[in-house]
Structure 1
Amino acid sequence: MTPHHSPSARPDRASVPPLAVAVIGAGAIGTAVAEALENGDVPGARLVAVLRSGSTRDEVDAAVDAADVLVEAAGVEAAEEFIPRVTGAGKDVIVCSCGVFARHEYPQDLIGDGPGRVLVPAGAVGGLDVLAAAARAGTDEAALRHVTIKSPAALGIRQTLDTPLEVFRGSAREAALEFPRTSNASVALALATLGLDRVEAIVVADPGVQRTRHVVEWESPVGRYDMRFENAVDPDSGGRTSAITAWSVAGVLTSIRAGAGPGVVVVAAARPVEGARVTP
């Protein structure tokens, strides 16, 4: 006999208090996330603070205390500073500048002992769910290549180009160290699958592009996947940031409030056993 659950036994979502969110950074991503929260575009979440480079220690302490989750959107130096602080306080932090993990042998070296979590949004690329599933099936014969195509200006190239120019080829870790503002997608893919040293990253400067392009290619015994993305750039980012990134963060916030959802890589505090992967 199937047990009967009365409507009163179901969790009352309306009774759950709004998710308190603090945003670190007032650049293109931080501003867009803050505006989405203020405009009610993230159901069940509210903005409690925006931290800037000039914020005082008291303002930072108050924001960490008031927030349920913080959104880092201020660059790798800010991520380096805030990740252990926020996770140590038992809070979640959504890290947009996930290239910071390239500085550490293991992502957990930066996180410390927690108990808070680091959440990495999918950002400018998709397909993390199927790629993570493919990696879980086995990585010995797997290969993942990520090609990023941006305008020369977005990559800091001042010379005049008439044709596309490959400016980098190496691991996701090396890409993040050389291009910290443009390699977060490579790092997110690596964290979800093969790790920073096994994902091949290629960066191309193309004078003919108006949007950022990403090509993701995976091959292993479980399957072969070829995904392509073409994102409009945020006009306030100098061509470096895809406009969809802020909305990817909004999706993560909505998922936290709902208790489930795709499009995020969870980096745990405990160091994994050799060969283990972080969990999307």
Structure 2
Amino acid sequence: MRVAVVGVGAIGGAVIEALEQGRVPGARLGAVLRSSSAPEEVTAAIDAADVVVEASTVDAADDLIPRVTATGTDVVVCSCGVFARHDDPRERLAGGPGAGRVLVPAGAIGGLDVLAAAARAGTADASVRHYTIKRPAALDVDEQLTDRREVFRGSARQAALEFPRTSNASVALALATLGLDRTEVIVVADPHVGRTRHVVEWESPVGRYELQFENAVDPDSGGRTSAITAWSVAEVLSALASGAGPGVVVLAGGRPVEGPEPSP
């Protein structure tokens, strides 16, 4: 499976390295695209790819996603804040029959498989809340805090619009469960944390769940990105190569992905 990676920052760089080192079974690096890549280079890379990984910016993702899906190619979207820009992101960013899929990695949190299952069981009496606790600098809080402070409370859509670089996990959670406008997000700046913390609370007739995650921060991200995020993308790619979805344990086997024959 040929993978084109768009973006060479904290996430894109780590995905590129994982592909180059052969740490994503069934996948290999086909192309790397940067903001400086020529239009014809972008077109050639998309045409040759079996899947495209977007790890750039929200603005770039807004243009890239429909361009990729129109060719019938799948795209893994890391700049999830792009979905908050549209009332119906499926209509704007996903094409019609024959279009490629828009895939969203879990990113910095887990448990989306059980939460999505709970949402499928019924959402009328369900609620979901996501707490994100990060260093003040990662949230662009310039004030020298001496104690933790809540800097945002609102919907996942509002969080993504206000904190587009640090709300990807909230958007993924919302898309998997109750949607961007029913998922509550609380963002906390804490000067005493060395890692990023996420707490997810779900309650509905089918069950009550509380999930907690404490992630090391990618040193190249300015404290904004959890180191696990790139490996979440790698897990999506591995799942695509094996013909199964994330959350499914594949012990053996896998189906081939049709695409151009590799160059000699």
TM-score normalised to the size of structure 1?
0.86
> 1:168-219 deviations in whole A, cap 9, x for unaligned?
0000000000000011101000000100000000000000001100000000
Match for 1:207: what amino acid?
P
Matched with 1:108 is 90
Let me know the Cα RMSD of the aligned residues. Answer: 1.0
- Cα displacement (A) at 1:113: 2.1
Letter paired with 1:84:
P
Conserved in 2, the CA contact under 8 Å of 1:126 and 1:263? no
Counterparts of 1:106-255 in structure 2, within 5 Å, are 106-114=88-96, 115-255=99-239
Runs of at least 5 residues in structure 2 that lack an aligned partner in the other structure: 249-264
Q: Distance in 2 between matches of 1:98 and 1:86?
A: 16
Q: Residue in 1 aligned with 2:14?
A: 32
- SS of the counterpart of 1:237? coil
In the alignment, is the contact (CA less than 8 A) between 1:252 and 1:263 conserved in 2?
no
Deviation at 1:263, TM superposition (A): 4.6
- The residue number in structure 2 matching 1:74 is 56
Q: Distance in 2 between matches of 1:159 and 1:30?
A: 30
Inter-partner Cα distance in structure 2 for 1:130 and 1:45: 27
The Cα shift of 1:261 comes to 2.8
Range 201-210 or range 111-120, more displaced: 111-120
1:98 partnered with 2:99: no
The within-5 A match list for 1:35-50 is 35-50=17-32
Q: Size of the alignment, in residue pairs?
A: 246
For 1:157, give the aligned amino acid: V
Structure 1 residue 262: deviation in Å?
1.8
Identity %: 74
Rounded to whole Å, the distance in 2 between the matches of 1:166 and 1:110 is 33
Contact in 1 for aligned 2:62/2:93 (Cα 8 Å): no
Offset, 1:106: 1.1
1:261 aligns with 2:245: yes
Shift of 1:110: 2.3
Which consecutive segments of 4 or more residues in structure 1 shift more than 6 A? none
Distance 2:223 2:14 in 1: 15
SS in 2 for 1:242: coil
Once the two structures are superposed, residues 25-74 of structure 1 have per-residue CA deviations (whole angstroms, 9 ceiling, x without a partner) of 01000000000000111111110111101000011011101100000000
Distance apart, 1:22 and its partner CA: 0.3
Q: Distance in 2 between matches of 1:176 and 1:112?
A: 19
Per the alignment, do residues 86 and 120 of structure 1 end up closer, same or farther by CA in structure 2, a change over 3 Å counting? same
Per-residue deviation at 1:239?
Answer: 0.3
Match of 2:41 among 49, 59, 63: 59
Q: C-alpha deviations, 1:211-265, integer Å up to 9, x for none?
A: 100000000011000000000010000000000010001000010010003259x
Provide the secondary structure at the position in 2 that maps to 1:144. Answer: strand
Q: Looking at CA atoms only, which structure, 1 or 2, has the larger radius of gyration? A: 1
